[in-house]
Chain A
Amino acid sequence: MSTRRKNFSEQSVLETVDLSVNLGGLCLKNPVTVASGTFGYGREYEPFVDISRLGAVIVKGTTLKPNSGNPAPRIYETASGMLNSIGLENPGIEDFLNIHLPYLLERGVSVIANIAGNTLEEYETLGAMIRKQSGVAAIELNISCPNVKKGGMHFGTDPDMVFQVVNAVKKATDLPVIPKLSPNVSDITIIAQAAQAGGANALSMINTLMGMAIDIEKRKPVLGNIFGGLSGPAIKPVALRMIYQVHREIDIPILGGGGIMSATDALEFIMAGSSAVSIGTGNFVQPGISVQVINELADYMIANNIPRISDLIGAAVRK
Protein backbone atom coordinates (compact mmCIF):
# COMPACT_ATOMS: atom_id res chain seq x y z
CA MET A 1 0.00 0.00 0.00
CA SER A 2 2.58 2.50 1.08
CA THR A 3 5.54 1.56 -1.05
CA ARG A 4 3.98 3.16 -4.16
CA ARG A 5 3.43 6.35 -2.23
CA LYS A 6 6.56 6.67 -0.15
CA ASN A 7 7.20 10.21 -1.31
CA PHE A 8 3.98 11.39 0.32
CA SER A 9 5.31 10.61 3.77
CA GLU A 10 6.63 14.12 4.21
CA GLN A 11 5.63 16.58 6.84
CA SER A 12 3.91 18.85 4.26
CA VAL A 13 1.70 15.98 3.17
CA LEU A 14 0.79 15.17 6.75
CA GLU A 15 -0.62 18.67 6.97
CA THR A 16 -2.93 18.15 4.00
CA VAL A 17 -4.77 15.23 5.62
CA ASP A 18 -6.44 15.40 8.99
CA LEU A 19 -5.14 12.61 11.21
CA SER A 20 -6.46 14.08 14.45
CA VAL A 21 -8.91 12.12 16.57
CA ASN A 22 -10.88 12.71 19.73
CA LEU A 23 -10.59 10.03 22.35
CA GLY A 24 -13.32 10.90 24.86
CA GLY A 25 -12.24 14.49 25.30
CA LEU A 26 -8.58 13.80 24.72
CA CYS A 27 -7.52 15.31 21.38
CA LEU A 28 -4.70 13.42 19.71
CA LYS A 29 -2.82 14.81 16.72
CA ASN A 30 -2.95 11.38 15.15
CA PRO A 31 -4.45 8.04 16.19
CA VAL A 32 -1.19 6.20 16.83
CA THR A 33 -0.09 5.55 20.41
CA VAL A 34 2.48 3.17 21.85
CA ALA A 35 1.09 0.60 24.30
CA SER A 36 1.76 0.45 28.01
CA GLY A 37 4.79 -1.58 29.01
CA THR A 38 6.26 -1.78 25.54
CA PHE A 39 7.94 1.60 25.18
CA GLY A 40 9.53 2.18 28.57
CA TYR A 41 9.33 5.88 29.31
CA GLY A 42 10.39 6.73 25.78
CA ARG A 43 14.14 7.08 26.41
CA GLU A 44 15.02 3.66 25.02
CA TYR A 45 13.31 4.47 21.72
CA GLU A 46 14.85 7.90 21.23
CA PRO A 47 17.42 6.51 18.70
CA PHE A 48 14.63 5.14 16.51
CA VAL A 49 11.58 7.38 16.89
CA ASP A 50 10.90 11.10 16.91
CA ILE A 51 8.69 10.79 19.96
CA SER A 52 7.02 14.14 19.34
CA ARG A 53 5.38 12.64 16.24
CA LEU A 54 3.34 10.14 18.25
CA GLY A 55 -0.34 10.60 19.04
CA ALA A 56 0.51 9.69 22.63
CA VAL A 57 2.87 7.61 24.71
CA ILE A 58 1.17 5.27 27.17
CA VAL A 59 3.61 4.55 29.95
CA LYS A 60 4.30 1.36 31.89
CA GLY A 61 1.69 0.29 34.44
CA THR A 62 2.36 2.37 37.54
CA THR A 63 1.64 1.31 41.10
CA LEU A 64 1.62 3.29 44.34
CA LYS A 65 4.88 1.82 45.58
CA PRO A 66 7.85 0.63 43.51
CA ASN A 67 7.34 -2.95 42.37
CA SER A 68 10.17 -5.34 41.47
CA GLY A 69 8.05 -7.62 39.28
CA ASN A 70 7.86 -11.37 38.67
CA PRO A 71 10.63 -14.00 38.74
CA ALA A 72 12.55 -14.82 35.53
CA PRO A 73 12.11 -16.06 32.87
CA ARG A 74 9.54 -13.44 32.03
CA ILE A 75 9.17 -13.68 28.28
CA TYR A 76 8.90 -16.43 25.71
CA GLU A 77 8.23 -16.35 22.01
CA THR A 78 5.28 -18.37 20.69
CA ALA A 79 3.83 -18.71 17.19
CA SER A 80 3.49 -15.16 15.84
CA GLY A 81 3.38 -13.76 19.32
CA MET A 82 4.98 -13.68 22.72
CA LEU A 83 4.12 -14.42 26.32
CA ASN A 84 5.11 -12.00 29.06
CA SER A 85 4.84 -12.11 32.81
CA ILE A 86 6.69 -8.93 33.72
CA GLY A 87 4.49 -8.51 36.79
CA LEU A 88 4.17 -4.73 36.66
CA GLU A 89 7.78 -3.95 37.51
CA ASN A 90 7.83 -0.17 37.86
CA PRO A 91 9.45 2.56 39.97
CA GLY A 92 6.18 3.69 41.59
CA ILE A 93 4.04 6.78 41.09
CA GLU A 94 6.47 9.25 42.75
CA ASP A 95 9.33 8.44 40.40
CA PHE A 96 6.99 8.43 37.44
CA LEU A 97 5.76 11.94 38.23
CA ASN A 98 9.13 13.37 39.23
CA ILE A 99 11.56 11.72 36.84
CA HIS A 100 9.93 10.08 33.84
CA LEU A 101 6.96 12.33 33.15
CA PRO A 102 9.04 15.54 32.84
CA TYR A 103 11.32 13.79 30.34
CA LEU A 104 8.38 12.86 28.12
CA LEU A 105 6.68 16.24 28.43
CA GLU A 106 9.90 17.93 27.33
CA ARG A 107 9.70 15.86 24.17
CA GLY A 108 6.37 17.51 23.39
CA VAL A 109 4.22 14.39 23.37
CA SER A 110 0.88 13.64 25.04
CA VAL A 111 1.35 11.24 27.92
CA ILE A 112 -1.25 8.74 29.02
CA ALA A 113 -0.49 7.35 32.48
CA ASN A 114 -1.38 3.70 33.08
CA ILE A 115 -2.26 2.87 36.68
CA ALA A 116 -2.72 -0.41 38.52
CA GLY A 117 -3.86 -1.07 42.08
CA ASN A 118 -4.49 -3.96 44.42
CA THR A 119 -7.49 -2.35 46.09
CA LEU A 120 -10.15 0.17 45.18
CA GLU A 121 -8.46 2.63 47.54
CA GLU A 122 -5.14 2.30 45.76
CA TYR A 123 -6.76 3.14 42.43
CA GLU A 124 -8.44 6.14 44.06
CA THR A 125 -5.18 7.41 45.56
CA LEU A 126 -3.37 7.01 42.24
CA GLY A 127 -6.18 8.83 40.42
CA ALA A 128 -6.00 11.71 42.86
CA MET A 129 -2.24 12.03 42.29
CA ILE A 130 -2.58 12.27 38.52
CA ARG A 131 -4.56 15.35 37.57
CA LYS A 132 -4.46 17.96 34.80
CA GLN A 133 -1.87 20.05 36.59
CA SER A 134 0.63 17.17 36.45
CA GLY A 135 0.79 17.50 32.66
CA VAL A 136 -0.62 14.02 32.02
CA ALA A 137 -3.25 13.95 29.24
CA ALA A 138 -5.37 10.98 30.37
CA ILE A 139 -5.37 7.96 32.64
CA GLU A 140 -5.48 4.43 31.30
CA LEU A 141 -6.80 2.15 33.99
CA ASN A 142 -5.27 -1.32 34.05
CA ILE A 143 -8.07 -3.41 35.54
CA SER A 144 -6.47 -6.78 34.81
CA CYS A 145 -5.13 -6.81 38.37
CA PRO A 146 -6.02 -9.08 41.26
CA ASN A 147 -8.22 -7.42 43.90
CA VAL A 148 -6.55 -8.47 47.14
CA LYS A 149 -9.68 -7.74 49.16
CA LYS A 150 -11.78 -9.98 46.93
CA GLY A 151 -9.54 -13.05 47.20
CA GLY A 152 -7.38 -12.02 44.25
CA MET A 153 -10.27 -12.01 41.78
CA HIS A 154 -9.37 -9.76 38.88
CA PHE A 155 -11.09 -6.37 38.86
CA GLY A 156 -11.60 -6.59 35.14
CA THR A 157 -13.61 -9.81 35.15
CA ASP A 158 -16.50 -8.65 37.30
CA PRO A 159 -18.92 -5.95 36.01
CA ASP A 160 -19.65 -4.59 39.52
CA MET A 161 -15.96 -4.20 40.34
CA VAL A 162 -15.34 -2.59 36.95
CA PHE A 163 -18.12 -0.09 37.62
CA GLN A 164 -16.76 0.70 41.07
CA VAL A 165 -13.13 1.13 40.10
CA VAL A 166 -13.91 3.33 37.10
CA ASN A 167 -16.30 5.41 39.15
CA ALA A 168 -13.80 5.84 41.98
CA VAL A 169 -11.01 7.01 39.68
CA LYS A 170 -13.39 9.31 37.78
CA LYS A 171 -14.23 11.02 41.06
CA ALA A 172 -10.59 11.30 42.09
CA THR A 173 -9.21 12.89 38.92
CA ASP A 174 -10.18 15.63 36.48
CA LEU A 175 -8.56 13.78 33.53
CA PRO A 176 -10.22 11.54 30.96
CA VAL A 177 -10.32 7.97 32.30
CA ILE A 178 -9.78 5.08 29.90
CA PRO A 179 -10.23 1.61 31.45
CA LYS A 180 -8.19 -1.06 29.67
CA LEU A 181 -10.31 -4.14 29.26
CA SER A 182 -9.06 -7.65 29.76
CA PRO A 183 -10.05 -10.09 27.00
CA ASN A 184 -10.08 -12.94 29.52
CA VAL A 185 -13.83 -12.75 30.11
CA SER A 186 -16.82 -14.57 28.65
CA ASP A 187 -18.70 -11.49 27.40
CA ILE A 188 -16.62 -8.38 26.83
CA THR A 189 -19.68 -6.23 26.04
CA ILE A 190 -20.99 -6.60 29.60
CA ILE A 191 -17.68 -5.36 31.00
CA ALA A 192 -17.61 -2.52 28.45
CA GLN A 193 -21.09 -1.44 29.46
CA ALA A 194 -20.15 -1.50 33.14
CA ALA A 195 -17.13 0.69 32.41
CA GLN A 196 -19.25 3.11 30.42
CA ALA A 197 -21.82 3.26 33.22
CA GLY A 198 -18.99 3.93 35.68
CA GLY A 199 -18.14 7.09 33.74
CA ALA A 200 -15.34 5.97 31.43
CA ASN A 201 -14.46 8.54 28.76
CA ALA A 202 -13.14 5.89 26.40
CA LEU A 203 -12.17 2.21 26.49
CA SER A 204 -8.77 0.69 25.78
CA MET A 205 -8.77 -2.83 24.46
CA ILE A 206 -7.43 -5.40 24.45
CA ASN A 207 -4.93 -6.29 27.10
CA THR A 208 -3.05 -9.58 26.70
CA LEU A 209 -4.73 -12.99 26.54
CA MET A 210 -3.70 -15.38 29.33
CA GLY A 211 -1.50 -18.19 28.09
CA MET A 212 1.42 -20.45 28.95
CA ALA A 213 4.20 -22.59 27.48
CA ILE A 214 5.79 -25.82 28.71
CA ASP A 215 9.45 -26.83 28.61
CA ILE A 216 9.21 -30.53 27.75
CA GLU A 217 12.77 -31.28 28.83
CA LYS A 218 12.36 -29.84 32.30
CA ARG A 219 8.66 -30.84 32.41
CA LYS A 220 7.92 -27.42 33.78
CA PRO A 221 6.16 -24.25 32.68
CA VAL A 222 8.61 -21.98 30.85
CA LEU A 223 7.69 -18.75 32.61
CA GLY A 224 8.77 -18.16 36.18
CA ASN A 225 5.23 -17.02 36.91
CA ILE A 226 3.69 -20.08 35.11
CA PHE A 227 1.13 -18.00 33.20
CA GLY A 228 1.73 -14.96 31.04
CA GLY A 229 -0.03 -12.58 28.70
CA LEU A 230 -0.06 -13.35 24.99
CA SER A 231 0.49 -10.40 22.65
CA GLY A 232 1.49 -9.78 19.06
CA PRO A 233 -0.01 -10.72 15.67
CA ALA A 234 -1.42 -13.95 17.13
CA ILE A 235 -4.07 -12.01 19.08
CA LYS A 236 -5.12 -9.56 16.35
CA PRO A 237 -8.25 -11.42 15.18
CA VAL A 238 -9.49 -11.71 18.76
CA ALA A 239 -8.87 -8.01 19.42
CA LEU A 240 -10.66 -6.98 16.23
CA ARG A 241 -13.66 -9.15 17.04
CA MET A 242 -13.97 -7.75 20.55
CA ILE A 243 -13.63 -4.13 19.41
CA TYR A 244 -16.23 -4.70 16.71
CA GLN A 245 -18.65 -6.18 19.27
CA VAL A 246 -18.09 -3.44 21.81
CA HIS A 247 -18.30 -0.62 19.26
CA ARG A 248 -21.82 -1.81 18.40
CA GLU A 249 -22.96 -1.74 22.02
CA ILE A 250 -21.45 1.42 23.50
CA ASP A 251 -21.23 5.14 22.74
CA ILE A 252 -17.76 6.05 24.03
CA PRO A 253 -14.67 5.84 21.77
CA ILE A 254 -12.24 2.93 21.73
CA LEU A 255 -8.44 2.88 21.84
CA GLY A 256 -7.81 -0.38 20.01
CA GLY A 257 -4.76 -2.60 19.84
CA GLY A 258 -3.46 -6.14 19.80
CA GLY A 259 -0.92 -7.31 17.26
CA ILE A 260 -0.68 -4.17 15.14
CA MET A 261 2.37 -4.49 12.86
CA SER A 262 1.47 -2.20 9.95
CA ALA A 263 -0.77 0.63 8.77
CA THR A 264 -3.07 -1.97 7.22
CA ASP A 265 -3.51 -3.54 10.66
CA ALA A 266 -4.17 -0.10 12.16
CA LEU A 267 -6.82 0.59 9.50
CA GLU A 268 -8.52 -2.69 10.34
CA PHE A 269 -8.72 -1.60 13.97
CA ILE A 270 -10.07 1.82 13.00
CA MET A 271 -12.68 0.34 10.68
CA ALA A 272 -13.70 -2.13 13.41
CA GLY A 273 -14.51 0.85 15.62
CA SER A 274 -11.29 2.18 17.16
CA SER A 275 -10.83 5.95 17.30
CA ALA A 276 -7.15 5.50 18.09
CA VAL A 277 -4.77 2.55 18.10
CA SER A 278 -1.93 1.30 20.27
CA ILE A 279 1.16 -0.53 19.13
CA GLY A 280 2.87 -2.80 21.64
CA THR A 281 4.87 -5.87 20.65
CA GLY A 282 5.44 -4.31 17.21
CA ASN A 283 7.89 -1.85 18.81
CA PHE A 284 10.17 -4.74 19.79
CA VAL A 285 10.26 -6.04 16.23
CA GLN A 286 10.56 -2.72 14.40
CA PRO A 287 11.48 0.04 16.83
CA GLY A 288 10.45 2.71 14.31
CA ILE A 289 7.08 1.11 13.57
CA SER A 290 4.92 3.75 15.30
CA VAL A 291 6.05 6.66 13.13
CA GLN A 292 6.07 4.42 10.07
CA VAL A 293 2.39 3.62 10.68
CA ILE A 294 1.56 7.33 11.01
CA ASN A 295 3.27 8.05 7.68
CA GLU A 296 1.56 5.14 5.97
CA LEU A 297 -1.86 6.14 7.26
CA ALA A 298 -1.35 9.55 5.65
CA ASP A 299 -0.28 7.86 2.41
CA TYR A 300 -3.40 5.74 2.45
CA MET A 301 -5.67 8.73 3.01
CA ILE A 302 -4.15 10.64 0.11
CA ALA A 303 -4.26 7.65 -2.21
CA ASN A 304 -7.89 7.02 -1.33
CA ASN A 305 -9.06 10.61 -1.06
CA ILE A 306 -9.95 10.50 2.60
CA PRO A 307 -9.64 13.98 4.14
CA ARG A 308 -10.22 12.96 7.77
CA ILE A 309 -9.13 9.69 9.41
CA SER A 310 -12.07 10.02 11.78
CA ASP A 311 -14.37 9.33 8.79
CA LEU A 312 -13.10 5.74 8.86
CA ILE A 313 -13.88 4.96 12.49
CA GLY A 314 -16.24 1.99 12.56
CA ALA A 315 -16.53 2.04 8.76
CA ALA A 316 -16.73 -1.75 8.65
CA VAL A 317 -19.22 -2.16 11.48
CA ARG A 318 -22.76 -3.23 10.69
CA LYS A 319 -24.89 -1.79 13.44
Chain B
Amino acid sequence: MIVSQMQGMVIDNTQKKSGWYEMELSTPSFASDAQPGQFLHIKTGDGNYPLLRRPFSICDFDKDTGRLFLMYKLLGSGTEWLSNVMSGGYVDIIGPLGRGFTYPAPGARVILVGGGIGIAPLLYLARRLTERKCRLLMFYGAEERCQLSALNKFKRLGVGTDVATRDGSAGFTGLVTDLVQQKIASEKADVIYTCGPEIMMAKVAAIAAQYQIPGELSLEEYMACGVGACLGCARKLKTRDDNFIKICKDGPVFSFSQMEFDLN
Protein backbone atom coordinates (compact mmCIF):
# COMPACT_ATOMS: atom_id res chain seq x y z
CA MET B 1 0.00 0.00 0.00
CA ILE B 2 1.86 3.07 -1.22
CA VAL B 3 1.12 6.37 0.48
CA SER B 4 1.24 9.41 -1.74
CA GLN B 5 0.07 12.97 -2.09
CA MET B 6 -2.08 13.91 -5.05
CA GLN B 7 -4.64 16.30 -6.44
CA GLY B 8 -7.97 14.53 -6.71
CA MET B 9 -10.36 15.97 -9.27
CA VAL B 10 -13.86 16.48 -7.92
CA ILE B 11 -16.45 14.69 -10.01
CA ASP B 12 -19.33 15.34 -7.69
CA ASN B 13 -19.75 17.07 -4.34
CA THR B 14 -23.32 17.48 -3.25
CA GLN B 15 -25.44 17.46 -0.14
CA LYS B 16 -27.64 14.38 -0.04
CA LYS B 17 -31.00 13.66 1.54
CA SER B 18 -29.15 12.40 4.60
CA GLY B 19 -27.93 15.95 5.23
CA TRP B 20 -24.37 14.84 4.63
CA TYR B 21 -22.19 15.59 1.67
CA GLU B 22 -20.91 12.95 -0.66
CA MET B 23 -17.81 13.60 -2.68
CA GLU B 24 -16.57 11.60 -5.62
CA LEU B 25 -12.96 12.10 -6.62
CA SER B 26 -11.02 10.99 -9.66
CA THR B 27 -7.59 9.92 -8.46
CA PRO B 28 -5.88 7.87 -11.18
CA SER B 29 -2.54 8.00 -9.35
CA PHE B 30 -3.99 6.84 -6.04
CA ALA B 31 -2.63 3.66 -4.50
CA SER B 32 -3.41 0.47 -6.34
CA ASP B 33 -5.29 -0.66 -3.27
CA ALA B 34 -6.65 0.67 -0.01
CA GLN B 35 -7.94 -1.12 3.07
CA PRO B 36 -11.38 -0.34 4.45
CA GLY B 37 -10.89 1.77 7.60
CA GLN B 38 -7.95 3.66 6.16
CA PHE B 39 -8.30 7.39 5.78
CA LEU B 40 -7.27 10.36 3.67
CA HIS B 41 -5.69 13.52 5.05
CA ILE B 42 -7.17 16.42 3.14
CA LYS B 43 -6.11 20.05 2.87
CA THR B 44 -9.43 21.75 3.48
CA GLY B 45 -8.46 25.33 2.71
CA ASP B 46 -6.36 27.40 0.36
CA GLY B 47 -4.27 29.40 2.78
CA ASN B 48 -3.30 29.32 6.44
CA TYR B 49 -6.81 29.05 7.86
CA PRO B 50 -7.79 26.37 8.40
CA LEU B 51 -4.17 25.34 8.48
CA LEU B 52 -4.02 21.64 9.25
CA ARG B 53 -5.34 18.85 7.10
CA ARG B 54 -8.52 17.01 8.12
CA PRO B 55 -8.88 13.22 8.22
CA PHE B 56 -11.75 11.52 6.36
CA SER B 57 -12.44 7.82 6.00
CA ILE B 58 -12.38 6.18 2.62
CA CYS B 59 -16.11 5.62 2.16
CA ASP B 60 -15.66 3.69 -1.06
CA PHE B 61 -12.92 3.07 -3.58
CA ASP B 62 -12.88 1.54 -7.01
CA LYS B 63 -9.33 0.62 -7.85
CA ASP B 64 -10.11 -0.09 -11.48
CA THR B 65 -11.43 3.40 -12.22
CA GLY B 66 -9.43 5.22 -9.53
CA ARG B 67 -12.61 6.69 -8.07
CA LEU B 68 -12.65 7.60 -4.39
CA PHE B 69 -15.76 8.39 -2.41
CA LEU B 70 -16.10 10.36 0.80
CA MET B 71 -19.09 11.05 2.98
CA TYR B 72 -18.81 13.98 5.36
CA LYS B 73 -20.75 15.98 7.85
CA LEU B 74 -20.59 19.77 7.91
CA LEU B 75 -18.96 20.77 11.19
CA GLY B 76 -16.58 23.72 11.09
CA SER B 77 -14.40 25.72 8.75
CA GLY B 78 -12.64 22.74 7.13
CA THR B 79 -15.75 20.83 6.11
CA GLU B 80 -17.36 24.16 5.15
CA TRP B 81 -14.48 24.78 2.71
CA LEU B 82 -14.76 21.24 1.39
CA SER B 83 -18.48 21.63 0.76
CA ASN B 84 -17.77 24.61 -1.49
CA VAL B 85 -15.44 22.82 -3.89
CA MET B 86 -17.12 22.61 -7.29
CA SER B 87 -17.08 19.74 -9.75
CA GLY B 88 -13.94 20.05 -11.86
CA GLY B 89 -12.03 21.56 -8.94
CA TYR B 90 -9.23 19.79 -7.09
CA VAL B 91 -8.55 18.74 -3.52
CA ASP B 92 -5.12 17.96 -2.16
CA ILE B 93 -5.10 14.54 -0.50
CA ILE B 94 -2.60 12.30 1.23
CA GLY B 95 -3.32 8.61 1.58
CA PRO B 96 -4.21 5.90 2.08
CA LEU B 97 -3.18 6.31 5.73
CA GLY B 98 -3.43 4.24 8.89
CA ARG B 99 -4.27 0.66 9.69
CA GLY B 100 -7.69 -0.47 8.51
CA PHE B 101 -10.04 -3.32 9.40
CA THR B 102 -8.76 -6.86 9.24
CA TYR B 103 -10.80 -9.33 7.21
CA PRO B 104 -12.53 -12.37 8.71
CA ALA B 105 -12.45 -15.78 7.05
CA PRO B 106 -14.38 -15.94 3.76
CA GLY B 107 -18.04 -16.66 4.33
CA ALA B 108 -18.02 -15.37 7.92
CA ARG B 109 -21.17 -14.02 9.56
CA VAL B 110 -20.53 -10.34 10.14
CA ILE B 111 -22.37 -7.69 12.12
CA LEU B 112 -21.76 -4.02 11.33
CA VAL B 113 -22.86 -1.40 13.84
CA GLY B 114 -22.87 2.18 12.61
CA GLY B 115 -23.91 5.43 14.23
CA GLY B 116 -24.33 8.77 12.49
CA ILE B 117 -21.56 9.67 10.05
CA GLY B 118 -19.64 6.66 11.42
CA ILE B 119 -21.35 4.81 8.59
CA ALA B 120 -18.70 6.14 6.15
CA PRO B 121 -15.89 3.55 6.47
CA LEU B 122 -18.39 0.70 6.90
CA LEU B 123 -19.59 1.02 3.31
CA TYR B 124 -16.21 0.22 1.79
CA LEU B 125 -15.79 -2.54 4.38
CA ALA B 126 -19.18 -3.98 3.43
CA ARG B 127 -18.20 -4.00 -0.25
CA ARG B 128 -14.99 -5.86 0.44
CA LEU B 129 -16.67 -8.35 2.76
CA THR B 130 -19.46 -9.14 0.30
CA GLU B 131 -16.74 -9.85 -2.26
CA ARG B 132 -15.41 -12.32 0.29
CA LYS B 133 -18.81 -13.95 0.48
CA CYS B 134 -19.43 -12.88 4.06
CA ARG B 135 -22.99 -12.68 5.34
CA LEU B 136 -23.56 -9.14 6.55
CA LEU B 137 -26.10 -7.57 8.83
CA MET B 138 -25.97 -3.86 9.56
CA PHE B 139 -27.41 -2.23 12.66
CA TYR B 140 -27.66 1.49 12.23
CA GLY B 141 -28.42 4.25 14.68
CA ALA B 142 -29.58 7.45 13.03
CA GLU B 143 -29.56 10.83 14.71
CA GLU B 144 -32.30 11.91 12.34
CA ARG B 145 -34.64 9.92 10.13
CA CYS B 146 -33.22 11.44 6.93
CA GLN B 147 -29.90 9.75 7.61
CA LEU B 148 -31.45 6.38 6.93
CA SER B 149 -31.20 7.21 3.22
CA ALA B 150 -27.45 6.57 3.53
CA LEU B 151 -28.34 2.91 4.07
CA ASN B 152 -29.51 2.47 0.49
CA LYS B 153 -25.94 1.90 -0.64
CA PHE B 154 -25.67 -1.00 1.82
CA LYS B 155 -28.95 -2.46 0.66
CA ARG B 156 -27.69 -2.37 -2.93
CA LEU B 157 -24.78 -4.53 -1.82
CA GLY B 158 -27.26 -7.02 -0.43
CA VAL B 159 -26.54 -6.17 3.20
CA GLY B 160 -29.43 -6.75 5.59
CA THR B 161 -30.23 -3.63 7.65
CA ASP B 162 -31.95 -3.01 10.94
CA VAL B 163 -32.33 0.54 12.22
CA ALA B 164 -32.91 2.43 15.42
CA THR B 165 -34.01 6.04 15.87
CA ARG B 166 -34.19 7.96 19.12
CA ASP B 167 -37.69 9.32 18.43
CA GLY B 168 -39.03 6.10 16.95
CA SER B 169 -39.73 7.75 13.59
CA ALA B 170 -38.31 4.63 11.96
CA GLY B 171 -37.37 1.16 13.13
CA PHE B 172 -36.55 0.44 16.75
CA THR B 173 -37.24 3.24 19.21
CA GLY B 174 -34.14 3.99 21.21
CA LEU B 175 -30.44 3.40 20.99
CA VAL B 176 -28.93 1.19 18.35
CA THR B 177 -26.94 -0.55 21.07
CA ASP B 178 -30.20 -1.62 22.76
CA LEU B 179 -31.29 -3.03 19.42
CA VAL B 180 -27.99 -4.91 19.07
CA GLN B 181 -28.35 -6.23 22.62
CA GLN B 182 -31.79 -7.64 21.76
CA LYS B 183 -30.82 -9.26 18.49
CA ILE B 184 -27.30 -10.44 18.97
CA ALA B 185 -27.99 -13.81 20.56
CA SER B 186 -29.95 -15.05 17.54
CA GLU B 187 -27.44 -13.81 14.98
CA LYS B 188 -24.50 -16.04 15.87
CA ALA B 189 -22.00 -13.56 14.47
CA ASP B 190 -18.35 -14.46 13.96
CA VAL B 191 -17.17 -10.85 14.09
CA ILE B 192 -18.45 -7.32 14.73
CA TYR B 193 -17.19 -4.08 13.18
CA THR B 194 -18.32 -0.73 14.50
CA CYS B 195 -17.85 2.96 13.83
CA GLY B 196 -19.69 5.92 15.32
CA PRO B 197 -19.79 7.91 18.55
CA GLU B 198 -17.33 6.51 21.06
CA ILE B 199 -19.94 5.76 23.70
CA MET B 200 -21.81 3.67 21.15
CA MET B 201 -18.69 1.74 20.18
CA ALA B 202 -17.89 1.17 23.85
CA LYS B 203 -21.32 -0.39 24.41
CA VAL B 204 -20.95 -2.52 21.29
CA ALA B 205 -17.59 -3.77 22.55
CA ALA B 206 -19.16 -4.60 25.93
CA ILE B 207 -21.97 -6.57 24.29
CA ALA B 208 -19.44 -8.38 22.08
CA ALA B 209 -17.43 -9.31 25.16
CA GLN B 210 -20.55 -10.75 26.78
CA TYR B 211 -21.03 -13.08 23.80
CA GLN B 212 -17.32 -13.60 23.22
CA ILE B 213 -17.45 -12.24 19.71
CA PRO B 214 -14.27 -10.55 18.48
CA GLY B 215 -14.50 -7.21 16.77
CA GLU B 216 -12.94 -3.96 15.69
CA LEU B 217 -13.75 -0.27 15.96
CA SER B 218 -12.44 2.97 14.52
CA LEU B 219 -11.27 5.78 16.81
CA GLU B 220 -10.99 9.53 16.23
CA GLU B 221 -8.60 12.12 17.53
CA TYR B 222 -7.42 15.52 16.36
CA MET B 223 -4.58 15.12 13.92
CA ALA B 224 -1.75 17.29 12.65
CA CYS B 225 0.62 15.23 10.48
CA GLY B 226 -1.60 12.17 9.97
CA VAL B 227 1.47 10.01 9.34
CA GLY B 228 2.83 9.24 12.81
CA ALA B 229 5.47 11.97 13.00
CA CYS B 230 4.10 14.62 15.37
CA LEU B 231 2.84 12.29 18.14
CA GLY B 232 -0.20 14.54 18.46
CA CYS B 233 -3.05 12.05 18.05
CA ALA B 234 -2.01 10.13 21.15
CA ARG B 235 -4.23 8.13 23.44
CA LYS B 236 -4.02 5.33 25.96
CA LEU B 237 -6.14 2.34 24.98
CA LYS B 238 -6.21 1.00 28.54
CA THR B 239 -5.81 3.23 31.57
CA ARG B 240 -2.92 1.15 32.87
CA ASP B 241 -1.01 1.21 29.60
CA ASP B 242 2.40 2.85 29.85
CA ASN B 243 2.48 4.10 26.32
CA PHE B 244 0.29 6.20 24.12
CA ILE B 245 -0.70 4.77 20.77
CA LYS B 246 -1.04 7.09 17.77
CA ILE B 247 -4.47 6.95 16.19
CA CYS B 248 -3.17 7.90 12.74
CA LYS B 249 -0.52 5.22 12.52
CA ASP B 250 -1.38 2.42 14.97
CA GLY B 251 -5.07 2.88 14.09
CA PRO B 252 -7.58 4.30 13.49
CA VAL B 253 -8.88 0.71 13.67
CA PHE B 254 -8.29 -1.24 16.87
CA SER B 255 -9.64 -4.53 18.12
CA PHE B 256 -12.08 -4.64 21.04
CA SER B 257 -9.55 -6.62 23.05
CA GLN B 258 -7.01 -3.78 22.83
CA MET B 259 -9.46 -1.36 24.42
CA GLU B 260 -10.80 -0.52 27.81
CA PHE B 261 -13.73 1.86 28.11
CA ASP B 262 -15.11 3.76 31.05
CA LEU B 263 -18.83 3.15 30.64
CA ASN B 264 -19.82 5.25 33.61
**Chain A residues engaging chain B, CB cutoff 8 angstroms:** 37-40, 44-45, 47-48, 60, 68-69, 72-77, 79-82, 84, 86, 89, 232-233, 261, 281, 283-288
Contacts and interface: CB of A to CB of B under 8 A. Distances in A.
Most chain B CB within 10 A, of A37, A74, A89, A286, is at A74
A232 B222 CA distance: 17
Contacts of B229: 38-40, 44-45, 283-284
Given A72-B244, A75-B222, A86 B232 contact: yes
B235 A281 contact: no
B2 A74 contact: no
A182 B52 CA distance: 24
Contacts of A233: 48, 51
Contacts of B53: 284-285
Contact of B49 (A47, A80, A286): A80
Q: How large is the interface on B (under 10, 10 to 19, 20 to 34, 35 or more residues)?
A: 20 to 34
Given A44-B225, A89-B231, A285-B43, A82 B244 contact: no
Contact of A44 (B43, B228, B236, B243): B228
Interface in B213-245: 221-236, 242-244
A68 B221 contact: no
Contact of B48 (A37, A232, A287, A288): A232
Contacts of B230: 37-38, 40, 75, 84, 86, 284
Given A69-B234, A86-B231, A86-B232, A75 B224 contact: yes
Most chain B CB within 10 A, of A89, A261, A287, is at A287
A37 B230 CA distance: 6
B221 A72 contact: yes
B235 A72 contact: yes
A40 B235 CA distance: 18
Interface string B230-264: 11111110000011100001000000000000000
Nearest to B226: A284
A240 to B, nearest CB: 16
Given A74-B234, A75-B232, A281 B51 contact: yes
A81 B51 contact: yes
Given A73-B222, A82-B52, 13 more contacts: A44-B229, A44-B249, A72-B221, A74-B233, A75-B232, A77-B50, A82-B51, A86-B234, A89-B234, A232-B51, A284-B225, A284-B229, A285-B52
A231 to B, nearest CB: 10
User: Do most interface residues of chain A lie in helix, strand or loop, or is the interface mixed?
Assistant: loop
Interface string B1-44: 01111000000000000000000000000000000000000010
Given A47-B3, A47-B4, A75 B227 contact: no
B234 A283 contact: no
7 contacts: A40-B228, A44-B228, A60-B231, A75-B232, A80-B51, A89-B244, A283-B225
Contacts of B243: 68
A39 B226 CA distance: 12
Contact of B224 (A79, A261, A284): A284
A37 B243 CA distance: 18
Contacts of B49: 79-80
B157 to A, nearest CB: 32
B33 to A, nearest CB: 15
A283 B228 CA distance: 12
Nearest to B94: A287
A45 B231 contact: no
B129 to A, nearest CB: 28
A73 B51 contact: no
Contacts of B242: 68
Given A74-B234, A75-B233, A48 B51 contact: no
Given A47-B2, A72-B234, A77 B48 contact: no
B249 to A, nearest CB: 8
Contacts of A84: 224, 230, 232
Contacts of A75: 222-224, 230, 232-233
A45 B234 CA distance: 19
Contact of B5 (A39, A72, A73, A287): A287
A47 B5 CA distance: 8
A220 to B, nearest CB: 15
Interface string B108-141: 0000000000000000000000000000000000
A91 to B, nearest CB: 10
A44 to B, nearest CB: 4
B5 A48 contact: yes
A77 B230 CA distance: 14
A196 B236 CA distance: 42
A284 B244 CA distance: 20
B244 A261 contact: no
Nearest to B50: A77
A40 B249 CA distance: 12
Contacts of B52: 77, 82, 284-285
A7 B232 CA distance: 37
A73 B4 CA distance: 27
Contacts of A284: 52-53, 224-226, 229-230
Contacts of A77: 50-52, 222
A235 B225 CA distance: 19
B93 to A, nearest CB: 12
Interface in B45-97: 48-53, 94
